[in-house]
Structure 1
Amino acid sequence: MPYKDPEKRRQYMREYARNVLGKKPYASDEQRFWHYAKRGAKTDCWPWTGHRHSRDSYGRFRVANGPYKRRWVQAHRFSYELAYGPIPSHLVPDHLCRNRPCVNPGHIELVSVRENILRGDGLAARHARQSHCKRNHPFNTENTYVTPDGRRQCRTCRT
């Protein structure tokens, strides 16, 4: 080994490996991405078979970002960007099929953050969809009081 300094030795070995073994052929991000998607008919869901985030079960994919750096992106976002181009910063992709691992770009629609939340099944979405109070009074302009923190209350039940 010609170098005693660990950094110089590392550089030497890297150059030696490149010259002797040749450069390793890497597939493009797009080729690697579609390797993990089970594509079917245009109307079917295309489930992501690669890495899935444990917290929310969305597919995740590592994209090259420079020579040795890599970053994780959501698989459905990457699929949409491959098909239609970049996603504007004020919009988010929403699954029309409600299947989080699906990467079919035809099943993804760009909507505002508010619209995406209201389409979901969270607490805010369920309350926003309510058209009547617990005692079946309608939530309309005359009968609805909005509290200072933004919640709706029935005026009839409140009195």
Structure 2
Amino acid sequence: MDVHRQCSQVPRYVDQAAPLRDDQGCLMPRPAASLEDRIPGHVQYTPFGCWHWTGYLDRDGYGVMKYQGVPQAAHRLAYTQWVGPVPEGHQLDHLCRNRACVNPEHLEPVTTQVNTARGIKPNRGTCRNGHPRTASNVYTTPQGHRACRPCRQDADARYKARQAA
């Protein structure tokens, strides 16, 4: 009975293909692999030098990995593992512009202001359809977003044409 009580305290989330057992025959959890062992298993090496994360990507395209039971940014874990901690008040900027890259050589700690400035696209003078972003062409939606007036007019015209058909 005592052995059975002790075994019930052991977590049951072990791999059943090759269970680990202690000297009393109780199932034991597997020891956690180090980051150094886990990260390369989720990486595809590209000819450009990027270490493309093949694991889970968040909605913004950044790699995510559970570490110590908490989902964390894979590029931050890689940087911390092979370079060191990210300085206080800094973010990691992807110099390769590939958000899924976890190569520490492609990551640079920068302030939020620098990271934001680097991320601004050079074509901000036009919308995605090429209309110039002038005061007369841009309006603010009720949700607070900037929108292109000619694009909105085109969308309205297409909608009215579909309704008339």
TM-score, normalised relative to structure 1: 0.59
Alpha-carbon offset, residue 26 of structure 1: 3.4
1:45-102 CA-partner distances (Å, limit 9, x unpaired) = 1100111112x110001112xxxxx111111111111121111121110000100000
Percent of aligned positions that are identical: 36
Q: Which moved more, 1:14-23 or 1:108-117?
A: 14-23
Equivalent of residue 27 in structure 1, options 16, 22, 33: 33
Query: Larger % of strand: which?
Result: 2
Report runs of 4+ in structure 1 exceeding 4 Å deviation. Answer: 9-12, 15-18
Residues 11 and 95 (structure 1), Cα distance of their counterparts in 2 relative to 1, 3 Å cut:
same
Paired with 1:112 and 1:10, the residues of 2 have a C-alpha distance of 53
Measured against aligned partners, the alpha-carbon deviations of 1:6-35 in whole angstroms (never above 9, x if no partner) come to xxx886423597542345343223211221
Mapping of 1:137-156 within 5 angstroms?
Answer: none
Say how many residue pairs are matched: 116
What is the rounded CA distance, in whole Å, between the counterparts of 1:63 and 1:10 in structure 2?
A: 30
Matched, 1:61 2:65: yes
| 1:44 pairs with 2:39 | no
Give yes or no for contact 2:64–2:73 (8 Å, CA) kept in 1: yes
How do residues 3-152 of structure 1 correspond to structure 2 at under 5 angstroms? 12-15=7-10, 19-20=24-25, 21-39=27-45, 44-54=49-59, 56-64=60-68, 70-121=69-120, 126=124
In structure 2, the gaps of 5 or more residues are 12-20, 126-133, 135-165
Gap change, CA 1:74 and 1:10, over 3 Å in 2: farther
Question: Residues 126 and 111 from structure 1, CA distance in 2 versus in 1: closer, same or farther, beyond 3 angstroms?
Answer: farther
Closer/same/farther in 2, CA of residues 86 and 15 from structure 1, 3 Å limit: closer
1:131 corresponds in structure 2 to none
Tell me, yes or no, if the aligned pair for 2:92 and 2:109 is still in contact at 8 Å.
yes
Q: Secondary structure at the match of 1:47?
A: strand
Between the aligned partners of 1:111 and 1:90, the Cα distance in structure 2 is 8
| TM-score, normalised with respect to structure 2 | 0.57
Aligned in 2, Cα 1:22/1:77: closer, same or farther, shift over 3 Å? closer
CA distance in 1 between partners of 2:79 and 2:65 (Å):
13
Q: Write the letter of the residue equivalent to 2:95.
A: L
CA distance in 1 between partners of 2:112 and 2:66 (Å): 24
